[in-house]
Structures are given as structure tokens and as C-alpha cells.
């Protein structure tokens, strides 16, 4: 597993590395990975309208790419991502949001409390990341409705991410 | 003091305020790292973070936990026979405490002259967050109001020149509300003896005790920068010389950035001090640091 120590590099180098790694990754994940698909019967019961509005897996993957790139140039929060494997981060984000928005995916990563344990993320840092997501959604020209639907889902996780975290 | 020199003094003060604001505009922005856009709301006519005529549970500025923030605001309500001008400043800390100062000038356009009042405000967030979690943000506050000149209020039957309002506010935003728009609702309950905000003193010949009044705001964000809404403010009726009325307004707010917020409203203040049908426009400009 690769990890980038991005703190010591100029940000434009980081952005270039990120863009390159995500683009090479995006090809492999342009459709939902087979291993992550779920049974069709369960699929039919899900409201996947948000997933469709986001442009399905391809659209989500592009959105998460823009999101990760916005984070990469954000000095307010970049220190939290110093030891993060960016490719895997992008992939897990996309998969998780695919599941949360009603897409045919199953997020297999750790829960949000587990993922953010020990990071001591402040409320202001969480808000900064939300702003990065809004920037990314604007870049992808998503409608206000779609943006609000996605923000509401993610805002519900705030208490699991911001320190001190509430245990579920 | 003549009217001309009063206006000169006021514009000098305003000029100083604008110069200070412009100077601070070039300072590094704490506002850029804190809470989300529009969560600081605007500055109400009493200097508290809120809507236009109602204080909200939200704290002014964008300061989050362990951060300091500040705002400067200027509000004008221009109705048929009166004009209310408000200059206000707030300092907030930790998304917990809000300290405010407001200066109100109430110009009597028909009668001539003006009434003045200073308001020292304190707000404390008890619990909750306007955006995150299921429960609304709940704050308590007080507003200590001191009349500039008590002679007219006293002649009209007011009991005291100074008074303190106490209030509790609950504010909640729904990111994905009806029509997939972000909505905000606020309910404030206030204990007060104030006549016309305190501009006509406190208590009176009809009633001299604290009364509970309700104030409410509802707003819908059309997108992240534009909001439309309405407000209602119940008021006591302590003076026999004229019946005091409740206030309403319908507003449009614009949040182009975390630095600047603007609101424009149509306001219905009904009858004030016996002069009926006081409708007009309300404008508000706020700069955050």
C-alpha cells in the first residue's frame, strides 16, 4: 500500500500526483466493482434517485476526485491527510457514498468513528471539509437540490467524526 | 443640539465606522475558518446575532470552538413617520458567548427630534447546533437597554428609563428541507417591560411587570447565498396614550461571502405612538471578522 508524505512537497506537486493517481484509478472503477455489488432484490427496495442525480458511480467518482483535490490545496485541513493513501481514500469515499446514496455498492471499510479515531478533528475542520465538498459539487455543476440531499446525509455523521466523538 | 450638527456628528461617526471596517477587511480572515456560510445570520435591531427584528440562538460571526469572531453592522428601518438607525458591534468566542453593543437612533420625522438608546447584550449557547444533530441550537440572552433621554418617555407615562430583557431562543436549520431547500426556523421567548424596544422607556401606567412575548422567524435558502423569509415580533402594551402593536417583516438576505451579509426587508410596524400604518423598508449590512 502506498502512502504519500505530502507535507514536505509543494502543493502543486501534490495536486499533480493526486490527479494522476486518481485518473489511473478512475478507469478501473468507472463501474461499480463487482465484488461490491449487492443482491438485485435488495436493490429494488432502495431509493436510488440521489445516486442517479449524482451521475451514478462515474459521477460520484469524479465528484470525489474534485473533492480530494480541493482538500489537497486546503491548508486548514491538509495536515490530517499527510499519511493517507490517496488512491484508497478516493476509492473508499466513492464506495461509501455510492452505498449511502442508494447505489448498488456495499461499503466494506471501517465505520466513521473508527476511521477518525485519534485524529482529533475540530468542528471548524469538519466545516472546512464540508466547504471543500460544496466547492467540488459546484465544479460538477450539481443542482442545489442534489447538493442539499448529499450534504444532509453527510452532516448526519458529524458527531461520529468531530472530536470528542460520540460512540454509536 | 440642532438637527444639522446632529447629522454631521452622525455621519462623522458612520465615516469612522466605515473606515475601521475597510481597515479590518484587509486583515487575515478568521471568518474563513470556522462555521458554515450564513450560520452567523445577520445582526438584529438590538445588536444580537439573528434576523432583523428577532434575536436568534445562533451566535454572530463565524467563530467556531476556541475561535474569536466579530461583526460590525448598520441597520436602517425607514417607515412613514419614523426612521430607526442602528449601529452595532459584536464579539463572539468559542461558538458559545456573544457580547454585543448597539446604538439606536429613532428619528421622529413628523414631530422632529429623536429618541436614543444604548443596548448591551450578552448571549450564551446552552446546547445544540443549528446545523448538526437533531436538537435545535438553544441560547439564552439578556439585553440591558439604557435610554438616552427619558423626558419624552416619562411624559408619555413610562415608568423607567432603563430596563433589561431576558430571552431564550431555539434555532434549527434543515439542510434538505421541503423542495430540497435548506430551511431555518427560530422561536424566541422574551421577558420584557420595554415600550417600543425601550425607545419609549420601560413599564408604564397600564402595566409595569415583565411580560412574556413570542418572536418567530422562518427562512428558506434558495441557494447557498440567497435566503427569503419572514419574521414576527410580539410586543407588550404598557402605555395608555397609544396602543403598541406587534411587528412583521418579509426579507431577502444575501450572503456573498463570509465577510459580508446584506438584508432587505418590507416591514410592517403598524401604529407607533399613535401614528398608524407604519410600513416601509428595512436594510441591513453586516461585516464579519
Nearest to B64 among A123, A149, A159 (CB): A123
Quick one: average pLDDT of B109-124? 94
CA distances to B45, B87, B287 from B100, rounded to whole Å, are: 11, 11, 14
Higher pLDDT pick, B148 / B92: B92
Helix, strand, or coil here: A162? coil
| Chain B residues within an 8 Å CB radius of A159 | 132-133
Q: Which residue of B has its CA nearest to A158?
A: B132
Q: What is the DSSP string of chain B?
A: --HHHHHHHHHHHHHHHHHHHHHHHTS--GGGSSS-TTTT-EE-TTSSEESSSSB-SSPSSS--TT-EEEEEEEEEEEESSEEEEEEEEEEEETTTEEEEEEEEEEEETTT-SEEEEEEEEEEEEEE--SSSSSSPEEEEEEEEEEES--HHHHHTT-SBSEEEEEEEEEEEEETT-GGG-EEEEEEEEEEE-BSGGGTT-B--SS--S-EEEEEEEEEEESSSSEEEEEEEE------TTS----EEEEEEEE-SSSSEEEEEEEEE---BTTB---EEEEEEEEEE-
DSSP assignment of A11-27, as one string? HHHHHHHHHHHHHHHHH
Q: How far apart are CA A84 and CA A101, in angstroms?
A: 24
Looking at per-residue pLDDT, the higher value among B111 and A101 belongs to A101
Contact B176 A76 (CB under 8 A): no
Residues in A touching B30 (Cβ below 8 Å) = none
- Tell me whether residues A155 and B131 touch, CB distance under 8 A: yes
Residues of A in contact with B181 (CB under 8 A): 144-145, 148
Q: Kindly list the residues from chain B whose CB atom is less than 8 angstroms away from the CB atom of residue A124.
A: 33-35, 64-65, 67
Would you say how long chain A is, in residues? 168
What is the per-residue pLDDT across B154-180, written as a single tens digit (0 to 9) for each? 999 999 999 999 999 999 999 999 999
Judging contacts by C-beta atoms under 8 Å, the chain A residues touching residue B177 are: 148
* Chain B residues whose beta carbon lies within 8 Å of the beta carbon of residue A54: none
Q: Which domains does chain A have, with CATH numbers?
A: 6-161 (1.10.490.10)
Q: Which residue, chain included where needed, has cell 438553544?
A: B138
The β-bridge partners of A99 are none
Smallest CA–CA distance from B37 into chain A, residue: A131
Residues on A contacting B at a C-beta cutoff of 8 Å = 76, 122-124, 127-128, 130-131, 134, 144-146, 148-149, 151-152, 155, 158-159
pLDDT digits (tens, 9 = 90+) for A14-35: 455 555 555 444 444 444 444 4
Q: Is residue B7 a contact partner of residue B248, using CB atoms and an 8 Å limit?
A: no
Domain coordinates in residue numbering, chain B? 3-288
Residue of A79, A120, A155 to mutate, testing the B interface (most B Cβ within 10 Å of its Cβ): A155
CB contact under 8 A, B64 and A127: yes
**How confident is the model at residue A154, as a pLDDT?**
94
**pLDDT at residue A28, rounded to an integer:** 41
- Coil, helix or strand at residue A52: helix
Report whether B66 contacts B179 (CB < 8 A): no
Q: Is B108 exposed, middle or buried (0-12, 13-18, 19+ CB in 10 A)?
A: middle
CA distance B27 to chain A (A): 17
pLDDT in tens, A44-77: 567 899 999 999 999 999 999 999 999 999 999 9
pLDDT of residue A167: 60
Min mean pLDDT across A81-85, A150-154, B118-122 is at: A81-85
CATH of B3-288, one of 2.40.40.20, 2.40.160.40, 3.40.190.10, 2.60.120.10: 2.40.160.40
- Which residue of B lies nearest to A149 if distances are taken between CA atoms? B176
Q: Which pLDDT score, from 0 to 100, does residue A165 have?
A: 76
Q: Which three cell numbers stand for residue A73?
A: 490545496
The share of chain B scoring above pLDDT 70, in percent, equals 89
Chain A CB contacts of B132 under 8 Å are 155, 158-159
Which is more confident, A33 or A94? Answer: A94
pLDDT reported for residue B32: 78
* Chain A residues close to B34, C-beta within 8 Å: 124, 127
Residues B246-264 pLDDT 10s: 999 999 999 999 999 999 9
Average pLDDT, chain B: 91
Q: How far does the CA of residue A155 sit from the closest CA of chain B (Å)?
A: 6
Size of interface A-B (CB pairs under 8 A): 52
pLDDT in tens, B231-243: 999 999 999 999 9
- pLDDT category at A91 given cuts 50, 70, 90 is very high
Task: State how far the Cα of A22 lies from the Cα of A83, in Å rounded to an integer.
Answer: 17
DSSP state of A134: H
Q: Which residues of B lie closer than 8 Å to A, measured between beta carbons?
A: 33-37, 64-67, 95, 131-133, 174-177, 179-182, 222-224
pLDDT of residue B179: 97
The shortest C-alpha distance from A39 to chain B (Å) reads 29
Nearest to A144 among B33, B34, B223 (CB): B223
Amino acid at each position: 500500500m502506498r502512502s504519500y508524505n505530502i507535507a514536505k512537497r509543494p502543493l502543486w506537486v501534490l495536486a499533480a500526483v493526486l490527479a494522476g493517481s486518481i485518473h489511473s484509478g478512475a478507469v478501473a472503477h468507472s463501474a461499480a466493482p463487482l465484488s461490491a455489488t449487492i443482491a438485485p432484490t435488495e436493490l429494488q427496495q432502495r431509493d436510488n434517485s440521489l445516486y442517479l442525480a449524482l451521475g451514478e458511480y462515474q459521477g460520484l467518482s469524479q465528484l470525489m476526485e474534485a473533492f480530494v483535490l480541493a482538500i489537497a490545496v486546503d491548508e486548514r485541513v491538509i495536515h490530517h491527510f499527510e499519511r493517507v493513501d490517496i488512491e484508497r481514500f478516493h476509492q473508499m469515499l466513492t464506495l461509501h457514498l455510492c452505498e449511502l446514496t442508494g447505489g448498488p455498492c456495499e461499503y466494506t471499510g471501517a465505520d466513521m468513528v473508527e476511521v477518525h479515531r485519534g485524529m482529533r478533528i475540530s468542528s471548524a475542520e469538519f466545516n472546512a471539509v464540508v466547504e471543500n465538498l460544496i466547492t467540488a459539487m459546484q465544479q460538477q455543476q450539481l443542482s442545489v437540490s442534489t447538493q442539499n440531499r448529499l450534504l444532509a446525509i453527510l452532516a448526519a455523521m458529524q458527531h461520529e467524526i468531530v472530536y470528542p466523538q460520540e460512540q454509536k | 443640539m440642532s438637527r444639522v450638527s446632529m447629522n454631521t456628528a452622525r455621519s462623522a461617526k458612520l465615516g469612522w465606522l466605515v473606515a475601521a471596517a475597510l481597515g479590518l477587511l484587509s486583515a487575515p480572515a478568521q471568518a474563513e475558518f470556522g462555521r458554515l456560510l450564513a450560520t452567523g445570520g445577520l445582526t438584529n435591531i438590538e445588536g444580537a446575532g439573528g434576523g432583523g427584528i428577532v434575536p436568534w440562538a445562533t451566535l454572530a460571526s463565524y467563530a467556531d470552538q476556541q475561535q474569536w469572531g466579530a461583526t460590525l453592522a448598520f441597520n436602517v428601518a425607514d417607515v412613514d413617520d419614523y426612521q430607526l438607525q442602528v449601529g452595532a458591534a459584536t464579539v463572539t468566542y468559542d461558538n458559545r458567548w456573544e457580547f454585543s453593543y448597539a446604538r439606536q437612533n429613532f428619528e421622529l420625522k413628523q414631530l422632529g427630534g429623536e429618541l436614543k438608546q444604548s443596548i448591551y447584550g450578552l448571549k450564551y449557547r446552552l446546547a445544540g447546533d443549528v446545523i448538526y444533530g437533531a436538537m435545535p441550537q438553544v441560547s439564552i440572552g439578556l439585553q440591558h437597554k439604557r435610554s438616552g433621554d427619558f423626558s419624552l418617555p416619562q411624559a408619555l407615562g413610562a415608568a423607567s428609563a432603563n430596563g433589561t430583557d431576558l430571552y431564550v431562543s431555539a434555532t434549527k436549520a434543515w439542510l434538505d428541507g421541503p423542495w430540497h431547500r435548506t430551511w431555518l426556523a427560530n422561536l424566541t421567548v422574551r421577558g420584557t417591560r420595554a415600550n417600543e424596544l425601550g425607545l419609549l422607556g420601560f413599564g408604564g401606567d397600564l402595566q409595569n411587570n415583565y411580560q412574556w412575548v413570542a418572536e418567530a422567524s422562518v427562512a428558506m435558502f434558495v441557494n447557498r447565498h440567497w435566503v427569503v423569509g419572514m419574521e414576527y415580533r410580539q410586543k407588550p402594551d404598557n402605555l395608555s396614550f397609544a396602543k403598541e402593536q406587534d411587528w412583521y417583516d418579509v426579507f431577502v438576505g444575501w450572503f456573498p461571502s463570509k465577510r459580508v451579509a446584506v438584508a432587505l426587508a418590507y416591514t410592517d410596524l403598524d401604529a407607533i405612538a399613535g401614528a398608524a400604518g407604519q410600513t416601509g423598508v428595512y436594510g441591513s449590512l453586516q461585516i464579519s471578522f
